[in-house]
Structure 1
Amino acid sequence: MTTIVADALGPDTPRRIGVAVSGGGDSTALLHALIGAGFAVEAVTVDHGLRPESLTEAEDVGRACAALSVPHTILCWPGTEAAGNLMDAARRARLRLIGAWARRRGIDTVALGHTADDQAETFLMRLSREAGLEGLSGIRARFRAEGVLWVRPMLTVPRAALRDWLRARDIGWVDDPSNENDRFARVRARKALRALRPAGVTAERIGAVVGHLAAANAALDRLLGQWVAAHVTETGGELQVPEGDFAALDPELRRRFVLDALIWIAGTDYGPRGAKLAAFLAAPRDATLHGCRIRFARGRMVLSREARAVAGLVAARDAVWDGWRITGPVPEGARIAALGAGGLAQCPDWRATGISRAGLLASPAVWMGETLLAAPLAGVGTGFVARNLRGSFADRGFSR
């Protein structure tokens, strides 16, 4: 197991690495494999508070880490307050909390203990939702989010093999009873996978199929990336493309472009509902979709943030606002909010920026009460800089 993990991470992975440890078999095996591979490990556990014994289990992880001389931190998230899809809310909370922890600790890479079974279960779950090629391409082996590189070095390893490896070393783990609760879609997929095993449909074979699909998906992503580099202009968080070039694009690549553009502009993990996106693509026209505006004017298609989506969003002077951070001489007591029509009226040279009026209305500005101090994207405010923390659209890659 140590060799598998080391080979999956490769020689370029920093020797100091974070690892998310729940106390279950998968993450416990990952912790020990990383140590065996010679990494300087720091562990973190998120206590969701969903079961009375969860804090005790997190503290048990801490004691096990102490015995291994591994620094350990417990992060708390009140999962009982979550609304909607609990599993999705928990996943987002883990990424947010662990990402912040890693940044505080100066850790660039965090390892997650997902296995071949997780890959197969995810495939079945997405299959039941009629997912397309992107969804059926499976869990990514690595991705960047919350300012951290997340890696999954055990995606090819069956869960049963990890438990055998732990038993052989007399290493214990905790089984979460929610893993048998049919309320959760993943548990239902797990049981379906067991039922399929006699027919030869195993986690390993599904993993091989996922690999084939992922290769095809990556090829389409490369084609889209080349098209974006040749035809799309990015200015101040806004994207512009000639209408003719967009219309000539292959329909599947056209769908991918709009979906990726909306996700990037809105700063979300997911795009709009498939039906809404399909309706737009069937008859492209001016539209408001997913907190973004799409307009066709002067032979160009322009995609920008929707002003109404950020109209009530306010951040402290040193905080992130809708994915933007403003640096410069921001005084105490100032706030970051949308520029809006009133602010844009105070920016006489905004047309020279190359950003549309709609895009600038939703851009970040520095306010002191009702007084506009700076609107960096609109060319107002000496010494102020607005940085898009989502990075460049062309550089982000197109595989989710």
Structure 2
Amino acid sequence: MTDAPLDQRFADAMGQLLGPDFPSEIGLAVSGGGDSMAMLALCHNWTRVYGVRLWVVTIDHGLRPESADEARMVAEECAALGWPHATVRWDWDGTGNVMDAARRARLELINRWRGTLRYVLMAHTQDDVAETFLMRLSRGSGVRGLSAMAAKRDVGSSPSKDLEAEEYVGDIPKQWEIAKGGPGRSGTFQIVRPCLGMSRAELRHYLKTLKGRWVDDPSNENDAYLRARMRKLLPDLAEVGLDISTLSETAHRLARADTALRARACQVWKRIGSEGRVGSEPTGELLFDRDGFDRLERDTQMRLLADALRYTSSQTYAPREDALEALLDRILGGGGGTLHGCEVRMERDQLRVFREYNAVAGLETELTSVDGRMRLWDGRWRVTDLGQTGTRIRALGPDGWAQIAEKRGDSPPFHSARSLPSFWRDDQLVACTPLGFGNNAHTRLWPMGREMFNFAAFLLSH
């Protein structure tokens, strides 16, 4: 910890993360809690020197009766400081884990809110790093899971649509208009965390000095949540030397080790791996030389497998370590299995990772208008319509495979090919671009919502 004033430390962090040529506008995600309200105050004071315009968003998850009032409090503070603010509402559908669903929805809504903004600040602190470390430790995580969150990272994919008027209240940044025939927007955005080297206590002291306002979320004290339980453990752990600073520093050291392990995995991939193609068309599969994979140290095998599953399914998070270990054991025994919406098979000469058919078998879209627009299928295929209404986009399936029997050529095997996107009219297959079937290119692999993105780049950035 340094004795420098918090304003100076914030300015130094912003310089390291976004300088020296700062963007003209940045976004801030502010919940109304002490950490994010302190970040708002710090950023406001910082802009007096650097002249950057701020846009502020509050995601109202609607999970507590007080949340709407808290969002209004943030709006009032932003108005007093002279910054535009918007509240974006999310309604939980009641399925899945509520905390995980809220986290995913928050990123998705921020992505749609940000419009042309490239950077969005979040107020994660040293305390968050320590708490996350303990949470992951309790789940048996490895080096990657125990590593500190990055101070800056790419997040999400290009959203398919801008926010609609009924989804928010307030002022929002300039939005992209979706261009005909393309997404019309600039890919991923970056989360920036300038407060990772600051403690929660320091930020609250800063707010108190400024007589600032904030609210305390009661869920932070609710033992039903693992993070709340870990937070309560921290004072006792500090008595035996495991204070917030020590835990955070350990997580950051592990992050450095994780960077080295990512580089190792990327080197190995370039030597023993390839992305599936039929001619020049990608099939979305990942292929590993069997003997080369067998000879790897287990940690690299685990990393390559976990990232292959994430990349192929376009999921944000890796599977649980125990499930991943079990699948790896089956693979090394000559078998395979399904996990994370993917299927893995150990074939005679190679290991094949591809999209599980059952994960996309019911994913079907009918084109009711002909507008030349890009559409996403399965979150990773950019699809352009055929210029004919009544065309359906769906997985190839066994019936589609049967219709191209004489034109398969060097296609991937049936169990992999059946999950590829294809175009249909009634019961007739019209096109399956990845297999070279059809007159024109109508689908294009768009992994993780990025142009010119491959598995090697994914390994280094995740």
* TM-score, scaled to structure 1: 0.92
Shift, 1:302, TM fit: 1.3
1:295 corresponding residue in structure 2:
345
1:34 aligns with 2:43: yes
Q: Cα deviation per residue 1:4-54 (whole Å; 9 max; x = unaligned)?
A: 442342316533211111111111122222233333211111111111121
1:115 corresponding residue in structure 2:
125
1:256 corresponding residue in structure 2:
303
- Structure 1 counterpart of 2:151, from 121, 137, 141: 141
1:131 aligns with 2:134: no
1:202 corresponding residue in structure 2:
243
SS across alignment from 2:100: helix
Q: Cα deviation per residue 1:205-229 (whole Å; 9 max; x = unaligned)?
A: 2111111111112111110011112
Report if aligned partners of 1:241, 1:302 keep a CA contact under 8 Å in 2: yes
1:310 aligns with 2:360: yes
Report if aligned partners of 1:49, 1:76 keep a CA contact under 8 Å in 2: yes
Q: 1:114 to 1:298 in 2, by over 3 A?
A: same
Aligned letter for 1:68?
L
Shift, 1:398, TM fit: 4.8
Q: Which moved more, 1:11-20 or 1:169-178?
A: 11-20
Q: 1:8 to 1:159 in 2, by over 3 A?
A: farther
CA distance in 2: counterparts of 1:340 and 1:84, whole angstroms: 28
1:247 aligns with 2:294: yes
CA distance in 2: counterparts of 1:114 and 1:308, whole angstroms: 38
SS across alignment from 2:208: helix
2:444 corresponding residue in structure 1:
386
Shift, 1:82, TM fit: 3.3
Report if aligned partners of 1:328, 1:383 keep a CA contact under 8 Å in 2: no
Residues 1-400 of structure 1: matches in 2 within 5 Å? 1=7, 2-11=10-19, 14-38=23-47, 39-79=52-92, 81-102=93-114, 105-147=115-157, 148-235=189-276, 236-284=283-331, 285-290=334-339, 291-315=341-365, 317=367, 318-323=374-379, 324-327=381-384, 329-347=386-404, 348-352=406-410, 355-381=412-438, 382-390=440-448, 391-398=453-460, 400=462
Q: 1:367 to 1:70 in 2, by over 3 A?
A: farther
Give the length in aligned residue pairs.
396
Aligned letter for 1:9?
L
SS across alignment from 2:148: coil
Identity %: 38
Q: 1:331 to 1:108 in 2, by over 3 A?
A: farther
Q: Cα deviation per residue 1:168-227 (whole Å; 9 max; x = unaligned)?
A: 222221221222112111111111112222333221121111111111121111100111
Q: Cα deviation per residue 1:69-118 (whole Å; 9 max; x = unaligned)?
A: 22211111124x4344322221111111111222xx21122111100000
CA distance in 2: counterparts of 1:338 and 1:319, whole angstroms: 15
CA distance in 1: counterparts of 2:198 and 2:96, whole angstroms: 32
Report if aligned partners of 1:260, 1:398 keep a CA contact under 8 Å in 2: no
CA distance in 2: counterparts of 1:369 and 1:344, whole angstroms: 16
Report if aligned partners of 1:315, 1:335 keep a CA contact under 8 Å in 2: yes
Aligned letter for 2:83?
V
CA distance in 1: counterparts of 2:56 and 2:365, whole angstroms: 32
Q: Which moved more, 1:336-345 or 1:183-192?
A: 336-345
SS across alignment from 1:396: helix
SS across alignment from 1:367: strand
CA distance in 1: counterparts of 2:109 and 2:391, whole angstroms: 27
Shift, 1:247, TM fit: 0.8
Shift, 1:142, TM fit: 2.3
Q: Which moved more, 1:277-286 or 1:87-96?
A: 277-286
Aligned letter for 2:375?
A
Report if aligned partners of 1:237, 1:388 keep a CA contact under 8 Å in 2: no
Report if aligned partners of 1:243, 1:300 keep a CA contact under 8 Å in 2: yes
* TM-score, scaled to structure 2: 0.80
CA distance in 1: counterparts of 2:441 and 2:305, whole angstroms: 34
State the Cα RMSD in Å.
Answer: 2.1
Aligned letter for 2:212?
I
Q: Which runs of 5+ in 2 are unaligned?
A: 1-6, 158-188, 277-282, 368-373
Q: 1:360 to 1:322 in 2, by over 3 A?
A: same
CA distance in 1: counterparts of 2:139 and 2:61, whole angstroms: 27
Q: 1:296 to 1:369 in 2, by over 3 A?
A: same
CA distance in 1: counterparts of 2:251 and 2:70, whole angstroms: 34
